Amino acid sequence: MGIANRPTLTNRESIEALRPRTAPYWNIIEYCRHIGVQRHPRLGDFWVARVRKAYAGQYRQRRLAPVDFTNVDGIDYQRALVMALEWFALPETSFIASAPYPVGPRRTVRYEKKVEGFTVGDAMCDYVDWKRIAAAKTHFETTLSLVNYHIIPRLGDTLVSDLTARLMTDFMIEVLETPPKYGNQQPRPRVRLDDLDGEALRKRKKTVNTILSILRCALQMAWENGEVESERAWRCIRRLPHKDTPRDIFLTRDQCRSLISHCRDDLAEIVRGALYTGCRVAELSDMRVSDVEPGMRGVYVAPCKSYRGRYVHLPDEGLAFFRAQCVGKASGDRVFLMRSGRPWRGNHKLLFRQAVSNAGLPERFVYHGLRHTYASQLVQAATPLAIVARQKGHSNTDTVSRTYGHLSCDAIEREIRVRFEAIEGPVAGSGDGKGKPGSSNMPGAYPIATRGSWPLANHAGATGSLIAKLYGR
């Protein structure tokens, strides 16, 4: 059970709503230190505490006192918390217990100064302090994670004045050969560049360039603040040549319908929400009834990945769907909830993977692919990229153009045929050859019918038999 989905134990009503069972309901005080309530079917309600053992990977548990928020026949949550902390601090408990660490992502740079002079570690501390107030929460956490995992262990004790292009090249190779680390998992061994396949190398290059941008900005800030005299440190940083791969996995409308039919009822609702809006799962999970604008044709999406909120316009079908989701709910209620009544917090992943498998869709299609499906459908339908960017929350059209530009081939061809005025007169088979802008009689004009999810224009000049093979027909 995720942290966000753990029950509230601070009031009597929330505890009484829990189903009686012998296993306690736990809340995390710190990792390896928990407080909980046991709703025993025969013995009643008791406060309990537990610590994680250092070596066995198991828990030592202790019953504290009966639950009674009047503090007559038992104790309330605050007194139970004090008793739990006192038990954690006992020598016999701390001797067997793992060291605790705070809940949630780390908020500081993992750096202790050991070298005289201004180091890369010092520059990163200043940079993170600035990012803490300048960046959105999720962006700050991602940046700090990269700093602590890649930059500090390799360059933290290096003087900024000692940085050279050769040193940065060695640093980039190390990062390229270091597999990504997720959550609290143990780091995996390095993989030689020669052993990385093309897709893995593309992803590692993208990570390296993100890290180099962080490092360059931090070193430039140090120079601007007068911590170092020379600009060489940040000017010697060069990003790796890299090109984003255009999105090629997205669903047709028939595949969307099949996916929805294989989803659990509550998952199907949040899948539909993504297909109608192109929103991320976190944006939909946090969406409230008040965000479904009653007097307008869309929904408000609160800031998530950046500080910018946005307004997403809906088609008629999507508008009816969102309004139906809000029926009978208060303005502060969430639009999308799990069937258990809890918010979606990462627990959609396994359910979605099962639905994808049951629907016979590509195994690597993930929930975020619904966002790409939304954008791909709009681009293929000749929607201006500025509108697609605005709907998705991008600050400009660059990302949309790089990611989905290859899907607009049909729209471009259609516009050129309509807008281009003939130079030399009629062309055989083109009609009357007037060639007026906006006319359907432009040279070479013919109806375009794209089938499948791959744009037909990519096969321009191919014979019909070759196109049939490429489409698998």
Residue ranges and CATH numbers for the domains of the chain are 3-96 (3.30.160), 120-235 (1.10.150.130), 253-408 (1.10.443.10), 420-470 (no CATH)
Separation in Å, CA 427 to CA 272, 418, 419, 421, 445: 47, 15, 16, 12, 10
Q: What's the longest Cα–Cα distance across the chain?
A: 99
In this structure, is the dihedral angle defined by the CA atoms of residues 265, 266, 267 and 272, taken in order, positive or negative?
A: positive
Are 378 and 391 spatial neighbours (Cβ–Cβ below 8 Å)? Answer: yes
Average confidence (pLDDT) over 150-164: 94
Pick the residue with more confidence: 306 or 353? 353
Return the beta strands (E) in 403-444 as ranges.
none
How far is Cα 257 from Cα 369, in angstroms, rounded to an integer?
A: 15
Confidence of residue 364 (pLDDT cuts 50, 70, 90): confident
Check whether 471 has a pLDDT greater than 80: no
Confidence of residue 6 (pLDDT cuts 50, 70, 90): confident
pTM for the whole structure: 0.58
| Mean of the per-residue pLDDT values of the chain | 82
How far is Cα 43 from Cα 181, in angstroms, rounded to an integer?
A: 45
Tens of pLDDT, residues 103-130: 656 678 989 898 899 999 999 999 999 9
Are 35 and 29 spatial neighbours (Cβ–Cβ below 8 Å)? Answer: yes
Confidence of residue 407 (pLDDT cuts 50, 70, 90): low
Tens of pLDDT, residues 83-100: 999 999 999 999 989 888
Pick the residue with more confidence: 206 or 445? 206
Check whether 470 has a pLDDT greater than 60: no
What pLDDT shows up at residue 291?
92
Range ranked top by mean pLDDT from 2-16, 289-303, 436-450: 289-303
Tens of pLDDT, residues 7-56: 889 888 989 989 999 999 999 888 889 999 999 999 999 999 999 988 76
